[in-house]
Amino acid sequence: MEINETTYFEACVKYPDVSPFVILKIDMQRRGFIMSQQTMHKINSQRYQTKERTFSRELQENYPVSFMLRDGTSVITRPCFNGSNELEPYVIDFRGKKFIVSMSGIEIDEIYLWEKPDFYEKYTSKGTPMWHIANARPQRLDINPFQYCDFWNYGKECRFCEIVSTYNKVGEKPMFLDMMDIEETVAEALKEKGRYASVFLTGGCRVSGVRPFDDEVDLYIEVLRVIGKFFSTDKFPSQLIGAAYNQEQLRRLHDETGLMFYTSDIEVLNKELFAWICPGKNAFVGYEQWKLRLFQAVEIFGRGNVNTGIVGGVELALPNGFKEEERALEVTLTEARELFENGVSVVSCVWRIASGSLFARQTLPSLDYYIKLSKGLSLLRKKYGLYTGMDDYRRCGNHPDTDLDRI
């Protein structure tokens, strides 16, 4: 039962300075969605994206990978199965030749499904389905070269994460992508002119090597060089989300590849909570060192070309998280300000409780909390003259705070 839960309709009145599309996005990410049987029959898997393989989730036919609202806002959320969310989910219906999103029986707006790219039905020369190699955001090509995370081997996985749980559920899923498969898939994807504005790489942390993350850096350098063959310039529109690398590793990525934007997700902006929620990141790097390495990355990649992400809401997780939302917001935005001051942009995603994670039985923060967090981060970005680069609404679509940046 929801107690004192601000609804989407109430929030639109309460926050007139926030786009109703962004409010809807946040709440759909919190609540998830269900679809009527009629809607299920209207989803054409030849036209829409209904399957996706990433390092963190696996979707097959019938359910849409994501949605888009009328203003171009993407909504990356999950279907709710058998009451998997304690909050009332949104409902996607098909009425009058349109997909409609509604809540509590009240129609809100028309909603669109992501179109499927041409390469999804094709195979590499080794027989690998290309949708296993790359997946498409509205204007971004995503590749996850490493489908695992070594922190799980030490019992130090991030508490909100289900990477290895997902990996173990999927039969015959390779830990590493094949370089030839990547090259052929990128070549095929780029045949669809104008579809992609950038290339994005990420995966789980790989701690092996002479120094932690050396092998991870070697892997990304190899992949970036493969992708770089398709560009005539030294640098090409690209983003990497990786571990917090030391200066030498960062310099190698910058000097030996065409990488333009570097992101290393700190996940939660509090030293004590970082140690509890991200024990692997804490053991191999540490909170203060993580921030220092982000600052060092700015010296190498340039101000505005370095980001860090947080999983908004995990700072309120029980039993060790903040007890009050206002206190959590105050601490998070204060810590974020230090990062912005040093040229690092902070972006947030809405925490979606994952069944295969240690936080599977947590309760999400309020809609009000996410609206205030998104507003706060967007205002800080404007104050310090930073921009979102590859994490804007066109390329990524996962961050409500960057959606506000364009308004």
Model confidence pLDDT, tens digit, residues 279-321: 999 999 999 999 999 999 999 999 999 999 999 999 999 999 9
Q: Which two tokens stand for residue 111?
A: 């909603």
> pLDDT value at position 171?
63
- Parallel/antiparallel/unpaired status of strands 345-350 and 238-241: unpaired
Q: Which domain holds residue 339?
A: 118-405
Quick one: average pLDDT of 64-76?
Answer: 92
**Is residue 1 one of the residues assigned to a domain?**
no
What percent of the chain is modeled with pLDDT above 70?
Answer: 96
Q: Are residues 128 and 199 in the same domain?
A: yes
Distance CA 61, CA 255 (A): 41
Q: 0.85 cut: is pTM over it?
A: yes
Q: Are residues 344 and 255 in the same domain?
A: yes
What percent of the chain is modeled with pLDDT above 90?
Answer: 77
Q: Is the pLDDT of residue 261 over 90?
A: yes
**Is residue 176 one of the residues assigned to a domain?**
yes
Q: Are residues 336 and 389 in the same domain?
A: yes
**Mean of pLDDT over the chain:** 92
**Is residue 56 one of the residues assigned to a domain?**
yes
The answer to whether 332 touches 377, Cβ cutoff 8 Å, is no
Confidence of residue 40 (pLDDT cuts 50, 70, 90): confident
Q: Are residues 163 and 189 in the same domain?
A: yes
Q: Are residues 308 and 277 in the same domain?
A: yes
CATH number at residue 261: 3.20.20.70
Q: Are residues 99 and 158 in the same domain?
A: no
Q: Are residues 165 and 308 in the same domain?
A: yes
Q: Is the pLDDT of residue 16 over 90?
A: yes
Q: Are residues 219 and 340 in the same domain?
A: yes
Q: Are residues 305 and 158 in the same domain?
A: yes
Going by the DSSP 8-state scheme, the letter that residue 7 receives in this structure is P
> pLDDT value at position 1?
34
**Is residue 3 one of the residues assigned to a domain?**
no
Query: Pick from 82, 113, 144: which residue ends a domain?
Result: 113
Number of domains in the chain: 2
289-290-292-295 Cα dihedral, nearest 10 degrees: 170
- Using one digit for the tens of pLDDT, what is the confidence trace for 193-220? 888 999 999 999 999 999 999 999 999 9
Q: Are residues 13 and 128 in the same domain?
A: no
Tell me how many degrees the CA angle 32-130-388 measures, rounded to the nearest 5: 55
Please name the residue that has the structure tokens 């960057």.
Answer: 402
**Is residue 2 one of the residues assigned to a domain?**
no
Q: Are residues 296 and 388 in the same domain?
A: yes
Query: Mean pLDDT lowest for which of 3-12, 94-103, 196-205?
Result: 3-12
> pLDDT value at position 346?
97
Query: Pick from 94, 113, 132: which residue ends a domain?
Result: 113
Q: Are residues 168 and 97 in the same domain?
A: no
Query: Pick from 113, 139, 156: which residue ends a domain?
Result: 113
- Using one digit for the tens of pLDDT, what is the confidence trace for 115-161? 999 999 999 999 999 999 999 988 899 999 998 999 999 999 999 99
Distance CA 394, CA 402 (A): 10
Distance CA 12, CA 10 (A): 5
Distance CA 395, CA 323 (A): 35
Quick one: average pLDDT of 27-39?
Answer: 90
Q: Is the pLDDT of residue 2 over 50?
A: no
Quick one: average pLDDT of 14-35?
Answer: 96
The answer to whether 152 touches 165, Cβ cutoff 8 Å, is no
